[in-house]
Amino acid sequence: MHYHGSCHCGQLAFELDGEIDSLLECNCSICTKKGYLHWFVPKSQLSDLKGEDIASVYTFHSGKIRHLFCPTCGCAPLGLGEHNGVAMAAINARCLDDVDLSGIKRVPFDGRSH
C-alpha cells in the first residue's frame, strides 16, 4: 500500500510503500504526551522526504532517535534512528493521510523501563 504522511502544514512530508501489520504504542514520557503510534520501517522505504533540512530535532534519554518536528506547526510525523546497523524511520501513524487506525493492532511497549 502507498502512504503519504506529513506534519499539519505540509512542510515536513514523506511517502512510503508497505503494509502496516501493527503499531507500537510506547509508554515512555514523550510517546505518552504526544500520543505517538509508531510504525517502524527501514528509512530506505521512505521516498520524497521533504523538509528534513528545516525540521527541528528533539532527542532525549539515550539520544538514539532523532524526533523530527515541524518548526512552523509543531507536528512530529517521524523520528529517525538506527537499529542493528540499519537506518530506520519511526513513522507516527497518526500523521499518515487517510488511514483508519482503529482496525490496526497495537502492540504495547514498555519504554519507561528502557
pLDDT above 90 (res 17): yes
CATH topology (fold) of 2-19+37-97? 2.170.150
pLDDT tier at 48, thresholds 50, 70, 90: confident
Q: What whole-number distance in Å separates Cα of residue 71 and Cα of residue 79? A: 15
Q: What is the 3-state secondary structure (H, E, C) of the chain?
A: CEEEEECCCCCCEEEEECCCCEEEEECCHHHHHHCCCEEEEEHHHEEEEECCCCCEEECCCCCCCEEEECCCCCCCCEEEEEECCEEEEEEEHHHECCCCHHHCEEEEECHHHC
Ramachandran angles phi, psi of 99, nearest 5°: -115, 125
pLDDT value, residue 54 = 93
**Cβ 73 vs Cβ 13: under 8 Å:** no
pLDDT value, residue 13 = 97
